[in-house]
Amino acid sequence: MSKLIAFAAIQGGYKVVSEVEGLYRKALQTYNADTKVEFPNTGYYLPVIYSLTGLKVTNLEELKKPLDFARGLLPPHVKSKNHLPYLGPLLDAGMAGIIAYEIKEALRAVTDPDFYYPHEDPDLEAGKIWTGPADDTILRKRGVEFVDGSAPGFAAIVGAAPNPEIAKMIVEDYQRKSLYIFCAANHNGQTVIEQLIEAGVQVGWNTRIVPFGPDISSAVFALGFANRAAMAFGGVQPGDYKTILKYNKDRIFAFVNALGDIGTEWGVAAAGCVNWGFPTLADTDIPQILPTGLCTYEHVVTNVKHDEMCQKSIETRGLKVNVTEIDIPMAFGPAFEGERVRGADLHVQCGGGKTQCTELVKMAQMNEIEDGKVILEGPDVTDLKEGETFPLGIYVQIAGREFQEDFEPIMERQIHHLVNYIQGIMHIGQRDISWVRISKAAMEKGFSLKHIGVVLHAKFHQDFKKIVDKVQVTLYTKTEDVDKITARARAEYQTRDSRVDSMTDEDVEIFYSCTLCQSFAPNHVCSVSPERTGLCGAYNWMDCRAAFEINPTGPNQPIEKGECIDPKLGQWKGVNEFVQKASRGAVTHYNFYSMVHDPMTTCGCCECIAAMLPSCNGVMTVGRDYPGDTPCGMKFTTLAGVMGGGACSPGFVGHSKHNITQGKFILGDGGLLRMVWMPKMLKEELKDRIDARGAAMGVPDLYDKIADETVGITEEEILPFLQEKGHPALSMEPLIG
């Protein structure tokens, strides 16, 4: 910690305490010792002193105890040599200064009783700008808002901005985020409140811009309000200073904005606020206190630009701001999640095998992105004619103090159902195989692709406020841009998937559920294990574990495997019990490792669908991005329509691309050695993994033995090729026996 900061704060403590001792002696010479001392209409006496020490100050004589207490808190002066950079002395000096400031304001109430105008709003016509300490009526009316969350916190602004326009900008930024703004002190005779009045801004409790007073001592009213809220609504007892201060740190999300030069008197006030866990952010160049400790994050942050003051303050305090409104012209909500956009209703679409549609969520640093910013790179859907298609890349950047890279796929998967919440928009799939259909009705209401960004920003803040501080969304609709983000995304997907490659299902006793797709497939319950990634391809076992950590009541719930019923086919008692409950009795059991015997249910979001080819004694699989015919006689779209509604369909099963080369892929039916056909593009995408898995199963040239559409698209066409290559499936036991 800076020696300069310690010197300024401790020096300020001595200065303020000495000044108030002088004012106190003068008051005793002028008034009787039993002269009444109080803040108007409150049962909390002098609230900072009462809440922290339990002392009930009612007259001049009783001010001596807290004043002596403040003097006793003052630490030794900073030495010129061997300065110890500890926060403790700074905190003591700060608390001494805060107590002295409250005594100073109490003395003002005696010596100048008409200085403040104790109402909710000032009387500007009468020149009564400053409202002073809030009375108990205001506390009861406003204090509860800090408890129920309608007021997430307050900004205590001291000093003045360079001009009224900047003052207005800063304050209105806080208003938009529902914070209170408590104003005190002046800088070179100018105050923020006077600047706001000049700029035509209405001030007072009703607009949440509170003009406490023109001196730094009046900033103590903000701390008094916070402590009274702790006693009134938090049940904290007077004198329990540890609980009072902890309550404020954990429940009252406040911070100080110092606008102007910070002298010793402001310095000691800032040090005092740190005791409450309230950090200070300044627009001037003073030393910082960046290590975390008493405050949630940094204690003093300086050189903050005025247009970044609000966001930086919120980040530093760890405040989570609620985004309550979603500003789009269409209706929005879960009721529209299962809505279909059929051919007659369709205006335009992307993905679904017709164009590329890719989604990627990445973690960002706080200073890299702007919260709420939505960028559209390329033409909007309003530029397209009915029936046209377009490519789309959705790139979401999230910054948060508690955000981790492990959370990226969890947030990415939310895009699916959040886009579906928009009336008239249908979303299927995920990752790089998404499919978005936009209805004529949505276009008539004024839909723009930017509205997807608006929705994602709002809902990520609403649903994941613990880990999300900033969200920026970029939407790409130019082919070259979409191709670039797709290449990057596929590399990210591969890295994520590889995290579970060394794990086996036997390594864990807990699997995880995923019910995100039940709006389209009500009976579908996806179970995710280390060796069976979610059939959508978006979640692996580690992703589900992270999702449960973020949202313990969400769609990814832990499943205790329980007794193993069939180790070959992959069936457990605990999984069956969970699936039966989660499917509302529609599905009583299924097998993890088989597509022939009671396979897992499938939904329309699966990356691939496998089907039996009886004449070849093997199986085929087809990915969503392959539009052609297949040897089973059905295209992917037909297959998805037949068994993608949550059905358990023996002979067919949905799965992810990654799952094809995992150790337990249809192992109960013979595993990957049964694979006789897949589209060339999918086969090439998985070449290295097929080579590795084939070698592990004793067939190192398995890749060369698998047919694709260049060989044929019927069983009759591919069988000679399989015979020529000596495919292992032909010599295995019958698939159906």
pLDDT at 157 over 90: yes
CATH number assigned to the domain covering 334-499: 3.30.1650.10
DSSP state of 334: G
Give the H/E segment covering residue 100. Answer: helix 87-111
| 482: Cα separation from own chain's centroid | 26
pLDDT at 205 over 90: yes
Report the alpha-carbon distance of residue 334 to residue 420 in Å, rounded.
8
pLDDT band for 499, please (50, 70, 90 cuts).
confident
- Average pLDDT, integer, range 57-82: 88
pLDDT at 614 over 50: yes
What is the pLDDT, as a whole number, of residue 295? 83
Within this chain, domains 3-111 and 505-731 share the same CATH topology: no
If phi > 0 it is left, if psi is from -120 to 50 it is alpha, else beta; for residue 89 that is: alpha
What is the pLDDT, as a whole number, of residue 606? 85
Phi, psi dihedral angles at 229 (to 5 degrees) = -60, -40
Give residue for tokens 């069939």: 566
Is there a contact between 208 and 156 (Cβ–Cβ < 8 Å)? no
With a CB cutoff of 8 Å and minimum separation 6, the contacts of 658 are 497, 533, 537, 540
Mode of pairing for the β-strands spanning 374-377 and 470-476: parallel
Summary mean pLDDT of the chain = 90
What is the pLDDT, as a whole number, of residue 637? 86
pLDDT band for 14, please (50, 70, 90 cuts).
very high
pLDDT at 337 over 80: no
Taking Cα atoms as reference points, which of 510, 503, 497, 586 lies closest to residue 536? Answer: 497
For the chain, the farthest-separated pair of C-alpha atoms sits apart, in whole angstroms, at 114
Tokens for 229, please give them: 């809220």
**Which of the residue ranges 245-254, 512-521, 647-656 would you say has the lowest mean pLDDT?**
512-521
pLDDT band for 115, please (50, 70, 90 cuts).
very high
pLDDT band for 648, please (50, 70, 90 cuts).
confident
Give residue for tokens 């579908």: 524
Phi, psi dihedral angles at 506 (to 5 degrees) = -75, -15
Handedness of CA 502, 727, 710, 614 (dihedral sign): negative
- Average pLDDT, integer, range 67-75: 95
3-state SS, one letter per residue, for 83-98: CCCCHHHHHHHHHHHH
What is the pLDDT, as a whole number, of residue 428? 86
Return the percentage of the chain with pLDDT > 70, whole number.
Answer: 95
Return the percentage of the chain with pLDDT > 90, whole number.
Answer: 64
Report the alpha-carbon distance of residue 224 to residue 46 in Å, rounded.
8
Q: Which amino acid, one-letter code, is at 674?
A: R
Tokens for 456, please give them: 């994602």
- Average pLDDT, integer, range 284-298: 78
Report the alpha-carbon distance of residue 220 to residue 216 in Å, rounded.
8
- Average pLDDT, integer, range 92-110: 96
- Average pLDDT, integer, range 95-101: 97
pLDDT band for 707, please (50, 70, 90 cuts).
very high
Going from N- to C-terminal start, the domains of the chain cover 3-111, 136-317, 334-499, 505-731
pLDDT band for 211, please (50, 70, 90 cuts).
very high
Give 3-111's CATH code, choosing from 3.90.1580.10, 1.10.8.190, 3.30.360.10, 3.30.420.10: 1.10.8.190
Q: Which amino acid, one-letter code, is at 531?
A: E
Taking Cα atoms as reference points, which of 654, 659, 694 lies closest to residue 674? Answer: 694
Write b or e for each residue in 190-202: b if 16 or more Cβ atoms lie within 10 A of its Cβ, otherwise e: bbbbbbbbebebe
Report the alpha-carbon distance of residue 662 to residue 198 in Å, rounded.
69
SS3 62: helix
- Average pLDDT, integer, range 334-361: 88
Give residue for tokens 């799939």: 429
Class for the domain spanning 136-317: alpha beta
Taking Cα atoms as reference points, which of 156, 131, 125, 124 lies closest to residue 213? Answer: 131
What is the pLDDT, as a whole number, of residue 381? 94
- Average pLDDT, integer, range 338-354: 88
What is the pLDDT, as a whole number, of residue 474? 97
What is the pLDDT, as a whole number, of residue 576? 93
* Half-sphere exposure in the Cβ direction for 515 (13 Å, CA): 20
What is the pLDDT, as a whole number, of residue 181? 95
pLDDT digits (tens, 9 = 90+) for 366-423: 889 999 999 999 999 999 999 999 999 999 999 998 888 888 988 998 899 899 989 8
- Average pLDDT, integer, range 643-663: 86
Tokens for 19, please give them: 């000044």
What is the pLDDT, as a whole number, of residue 495? 87
With a CB cutoff of 8 Å and minimum separation 6, the contacts of 530 are 500, 503, 504, 505, 507, 508, 540, 541
3-state SS, one letter per residue, for 454-467: HHHHHHHHHHCCCC
What is the pLDDT, as a whole number, of residue 3? 60
Segment of 134-143, 460-469, 676-685 carrying the highest mean pLDDT? 676-685
At residue 720's C-alpha, the angle toward residues 719 and 722, to 5°, is 65
- Average pLDDT, integer, range 258-270: 91
* Half-sphere exposure in the Cβ direction for 412 (13 Å, CA): 32
pLDDT at 439 over 60: yes
What is the pLDDT, as a whole number, of residue 279? 93
Is there a contact between 353 and 624 (Cβ–Cβ < 8 Å)? yes
pLDDT at 292 over 70: no
What is the pLDDT, as a whole number, of residue 335? 67
| DSSP output for 529-547 | BTTB--TTSS--HHHHHHH
**Which of the residue ranges 20-29, 170-179, 352-361, 434-443 would you say has the lowest mean pLDDT?**
170-179
pLDDT at 242 over 60: yes
Report the alpha-carbon distance of residue 475 to residue 466 in Å, rounded.
25
- Average pLDDT, integer, range 2-6: 64
What is the pLDDT, as a whole number, of residue 206? 86
CATH number assigned to the domain covering 505-731: 3.40.1470.10
pLDDT band for 453, please (50, 70, 90 cuts).
very high
pLDDT at 322 over 80: no
Taking Cα atoms as reference points, which of 182, 189, 181 lies closest to residue 160? Answer: 189
pLDDT at 1 over 50: no
